[in-house]
Copies of this chain bind each other. A is one copy, B any other.
Amino acid sequence: MTTYHAFTEAEAVEYARTIPNLFTPGSELTSREIGDGNLNLVFHISELSTGNSIILKQALPYAKVVGESWPLTLDRARIESEALIIQESLCPDLVPHVFVYEKDLALTVMQDLSDHVIMRKGLIEGNRYPLFAQHIARFLAHTLFYTSDLGMNQQEKKERVKQFINPELCKITEDLIFDDPYHNAETNNVPPAIQDAIEAVWQDKELHLEVAILRNSFLTHAQSLLHGDLHTGSIFITQESTKVIDPEFAYYGPMGFDIGAVFANLLLNYAAQEGWSKDAESRADYRGYLLGTIKDVWTLFQGEFRSLWSLYGEDRLSKTEGYQDWYMQQVLRDTIGYTGSKMVRRVHGLAQVADINKLEDEAAKERAQRIALRIGTALIKHNRQAQSIDELLEIAVKAVE
């Protein structure tokens, strides 16, 4: 039972029955495999009589996107589970509850969030989530502060760095975000209509230098325990609730990488409004909502992070005059740089986004791709000079003028 093998639906049901206090003994359980990711099986198991349900997530020893030829360590299931448990301790309402983690099976049993929708889908449908900004800002502020040298014992933090060394998943990011999109790599999926713009990206030496510097920081800057893949497909949402899922890319890296992932995916949807909005007025309106959300997330994140720092920072030197301002400026700059990096790779890299790719009008799709590329490259080039989040918003506004 505890030797690793990929579960069938029947086995998933059988396993779910063994978890204490979850289902009525002997009752009928149903299972569906609902994974749409690339790396895991995800079983939704529910009890017909009560409606109780859980998610049983099992890591696969390879990446589905490229077949079994890309083997992946099952250790990522440990990392995901341990990261979730830390996140739950810091913001219990913003992540799914973990019932069981079974290492040998690379298996995590967690709270079912079927009453939520994937945020990417919600945004594509044009929905608005009035509590999202404050939820995700709190998630970012608490998880990034309390896992950094500012918010935890600095010696324990070093043990955490060790716990979350995550070479294989980091390698995916290093290749697909920071390398392949900037040259004619086999993994790219270049949309033919924008071949000219992609070739310009491949030629742009100023851009390449900034990407190399951003990658250097991704490789070496062990600042906080990151989620590591915080796009809108890793967020379950309703009008009232926000749940961040799937931290299998968790590792110690620069805070701006997580914040930038959120902003990049809001801006990809912003670009995609070329096709999703029915007219210019609703397009401008929804884009205003998205930019307002980014501004709110940054403002709330920064405020909350600074409050935590001032109230709970135990470290004498962190109270040094000017240090907090210097630090937050670095986080802003990283955020802007990684926002750009995470946009560019979604236009013509291996893994793209439904916001743009599901557009049926080819002209609108092409405009969306060009806008995303324009914003992404401008943010990357601007990152080391940035002074304010408003500069990010201005770049986004200018790109659709």
A304 contacts partner chain B, Cβ-Cβ < 8 Å? no
A222 contacts partner chain B, Cβ-Cβ < 8 Å? yes
- Chain B contacts for A43, CB-based, 8 A: none
Would B212 and A318 count as touching, CB distance under 8 A?
yes
CB pairs A–B below 8 angstroms (21 shown): A149-B219, A149-B220, A154-B167, A154-B171, A155-B168, A155-B170, A156-B167, A158-B167, A159-B167, A162-B162, A182-B317, A183-B316, A205-B320, A208-B317, A208-B321, A209-B320, A209-B322, A211-B317, A211-B320, A212-B317, A212-B323
Would A209 and B178 count as touching, CB distance under 8 A?
no
Count contacts on A: residues with CB < 8 A to the other chain. Answer: 41
A391 contacts partner chain B, Cβ-Cβ < 8 Å? no
Most interface-central of A182, A183, A215, A219 (chain B CB within 10 A): A219
CB nearest neighbor in B for A320: B212
Kindly identify, within residues 145 to 166 of chain A, every residue whose CB is under 8 Å from any CB belonging to chain B. Answer: 149, 154-156, 158-159, 161-162, 165-166
Kindly identify, within residues 17 to 47 of chain A, every residue whose CB is under 8 Å from any CB belonging to chain B. Answer: none
Q: Can you add 11 more A-B contacts, CB < 8 Å, to A149-B216, A161-B161?
A: A154-B174, A161-B162, A161-B165, A162-B162, A179-B317, A205-B321, A205-B322, A216-B327, A220-B222, A221-B222, A222-B222
CB nearest neighbor in B for A185: B316
A residues apposed to B, CB below 8 Å: 149, 154-156, 158-159, 161-162, 165-168, 170-171, 174, 178-179, 182-183, 205, 208-209, 211-213, 215-216, 219-223, 316-318, 320-323, 326-327
Would A167 and B155 count as touching, CB distance under 8 A?
yes
Instruction: Tell me how far the C-beta of A198 lies from the nearest C-beta in chain B, rounded to whole angstroms.
Output: 18
Instruction: Tell me how far the C-beta of A205 lies from the nearest C-beta in chain B, rounded to whole angstroms.
Output: 5
Q: How far is the CA of A167 from the CA of B165 in the complex (A)?
A: 16
Q: How far is the CA of A216 from the CA of B216 in the complex (A)?
A: 17
Instruction: Tell me how far the C-beta of A319 lies from the nearest C-beta in chain B, rounded to whole angstroms.
Output: 9
Given contacts A179-B316, A316-B179, A316-B183, contact A209 B321 (CB under 8 A): yes
Q: How far is the CA of A174 from the CA of B322 in the complex (A)?
A: 20
Would A219 and B154 count as touching, CB distance under 8 A?
yes
Instruction: Tell me how far the C-beta of A336 lies from the nearest C-beta in chain B, rounded to whole angstroms.
Output: 18
Q: How far is the CA of A297 from the CA of B220 in the complex (A)?
A: 25
